[in-house]
Every structure is written in C-alpha cells, then in structure tokens.
Amino acid sequence: MNENETPFPMELTEYVTNLFSPREDTFRLITEAAHAAGMPYGWEISPDVGKLFQMFCAMIGAKRVVEFGTFAGHSAIYFARALPADGKVISIEINPEYAAFARRQIETAGVADKVEVRLRPALDAMIDIKEEIDAGADRFDVIFLDTEKAYYPRFLEWAPSVLRPGGMLLADNVLRSPSWKGQTLLDQESTDPKIFAIREFNERLAAHPDFVSTIVPIRAGVAAAVYRPR
C-alpha cells in the first residue's frame, strides 16, 4: 500500500473540518440545550456532514427537502440555510418532545418560515407525502434518511415515487452508528436486524439502475445517490 492509499491521519481530517465546516455557535448552543434537556448525545449530524449536504443542495438547485428524523433540529437547519427564500424542509419526527424542542431551535435560528416539523411516524409520513405528490405537490429535490434503520430498504423503494429526476437520496449511518455498540456493517457475527437492513439498503442502492450512488465514508458513513431514471 503506498502513502496515497492509507487512511488519512486525524490531523488532516481535522484540517479539512476546521477550514470548511468549523463548528458554529448556533449548532453548539442547540447541542448544549439538548443535553441540558436530557436528550441523547451524538444523534445529530456533524458540521462536515451538514456542509456536504449544503453543497449537494447548491449543486442541484434544491428547493424542497424531506428528512426523516428531526431530533434537535440540526440537519433541518443545515438544509434550510442551503435553500432559497422560497425553499421548504419537511422534517418528520415521532417524539413529541423532540419535535417541540426542534421547533424552538428552528425559530431561534431564524428559519422557521422554511421548516415544517411534522409529528408523525415515518411510515405514515411516507404515505402522506406520496398522496400529496399524487395530488399535485412538487416532487422533492432531496430526501434525507436519518431515522429507524430497519426502514431504509422501504425508503429506497418509495424514493423514486416522490423524488424529481436529478434529485438526491441521502442516508446517514450506512456504515456504523454510535448506538451500535462498536458493531459496523462488516461484523459478520452480528445478528442485529438494523445491520441486516442497512446491508440490504446499501446493496440494493449500489445495484439500482435508476440511481448513481456511492457512500461517502465520513463520520457514520453517508449514502449519496442521484436519481437518474432510465
């Protein structure tokens, strides 16, 4: 293995993060408030992932985003900031306390006019959204999956029915997660249904004829796929 094939040392990764996505007070304060409110640690996307998503939004001229898993509001705010004034983020959350917390943070961040937090289980929300598209609503530019991992294969089946051609499907935790107790996707001994579901998702995405896709191996692993129907 030559030097260009070894993993980057931490200091080079930190150099990139510090230069291109330094931690902003807005997000630091939300994280601190979430911890003070007894919400779990480390569920939110990190600044480098937020920046990557903002770059994707700029690349494809995104105006409409739907994300599954609001938690404290970090990813919704990253997306909202990347959209034009008439852009919209629909953010789906099952936990009423998290939804209420996120709405307050979104208001404080000044993007409440662009973000709708829907208190709804993901599977029901998928049905609602498909019905809205069928009734004439615009298709989405971006779908971001960051909720129940067992649903990921189902989300992949659903995505083409609500995504516009050239739109993107993004998904977090497609390689590992802080809550998997050190397991990764490659643990052959694992009997964890989440890991089976993510493996199925990754394999189906990689082979999907209507998506051009890869996994960006930062943080927990981010799947990024452009919808290009045949």
Ligand X SMILES: C[S@@+](CC[C@H](N)C(=O)[O-])C[C@H]1O[C@@H](n2cnc3c(N)ncnc32)[C@H](O)[C@@H]1O
* Residue (128 or 165) nearer to ligand X, CB: 128
Q: Which of 43, 101, 140, 155 binds ligand X (CB under 6 A)?
A: 43
Q: Name the burial class of residue 193, with classes exposed (0-12), middle (13-18) and buried (19+) by CB atoms within 10 angstroms of its CB.
A: exposed
* Residue (22 or 229) nearer to ligand X, CB: 22
Give the distance between the most distant pair of CA atoms in the chain. 56
For residue 157, give Cα distances in angstroms to 22, 63, 103, 172, 184. Answer: 36, 22, 29, 17, 24
Which position has the token pair 């480098």? 48
Q: Considering the rule CB under 6 A, would residue 94 count as an interface residue with ligand X?
A: yes
Q: Which of 27, 31, 34, 45 binds ligand X (CB under 6 A)?
A: 45
Shortest distance, position 220 Cβ to ligand X, whole Å = 9
* Cα end-to-end distance, the chain, whole Å: 38
Q: Which of 31, 105, 147, 202 binds ligand X (CB under 6 A)?
A: 147
* Residue (72 or 162) nearer to ligand X, CB: 72
* Residue (136 or 182) nearer to ligand X, CB: 182
For residue 133, give Cα distances in angstroms to 8, 112, 160. Answer: 43, 23, 12
For residue 61, give Cα distances in angstroms to 53, 130, 144. Answer: 12, 22, 16
Q: Which stretch binds ligand X (CB under 6 A): 69-77, 103-111, 132-140, 191-199?
A: 69-77
* Residue (3 or 25) nearer to ligand X, CB: 25
Q: Considering the rule CB under 6 A, would residue 154 count as an interface residue with ligand X?
A: no
Element (H, E) at 97: helix 96-108
Residues near ligand X (CB under 6 A) are: 43-45, 67, 69-72, 74-75, 92-95, 98, 121-122, 146-148
